[in-house]
Amino acid sequence: MKIDAIGSLQAPLAQHVQKEQKSGFGEVLKDFLADVNGDLKQASKAQEALLKGKVDNMIELMTQIEKADISLRMATEIRNKALEAYQEIMRMQV
């Protein structure tokens, strides 16, 4: 298992922040949902490999599945917060 240095993790984060600044909220949300969908597809493939017994590294397999689970939970929470904000705006009196 390869462990990356902390410095190597900062470059993708900086690129993601720059991308968010250039694009609108809709684009950021669209990209996030595409990433979640990709994570779910990878988890599905990992589960199929586990059922077929074609697993080389069980740790990586479980990591992929957990990553997909966390991504889906985060997407659900973002949806819930957006819905709550919309409902709060609709309750405001003008």
Phi, psi of 24, rounded to the nearest 5 degrees: -85, 175
Contact (CB, 8 A) for 46 and 64: yes
Band (41; pLDDT cuts 50, 70, 90): very high
pLDDT of residue 10: 55
Tell me which residue of 69, 66, 64, 78 sits closest to 31, measured CA to CA: 78
Reported pTM: 0.66
Name 74's Cβ contacts closer than 8 Å, sequence gap at least 6: 36
Q: Give the whole-angstrom CA distance, residue 81 versus residue 83.
A: 5
Q: Are 68 and 42 in contact (CB under 8 A)?
A: yes
Tens digits of per-residue pLDDT, 59-80? 888 999 999 999 999 999 999 9
Residue 57 pLDDT: 85
Question: At residue 9, does pLDDT exceed 80?
Answer: no
Which residues have a Cβ under 8 Å from the Cβ of 59 and sit 6 or more positions away?
Answer: 1
Give the model confidence (pLDDT) of 23-33 as tens digits.
788 898 899 99
Is pLDDT of 83 > 80?
yes
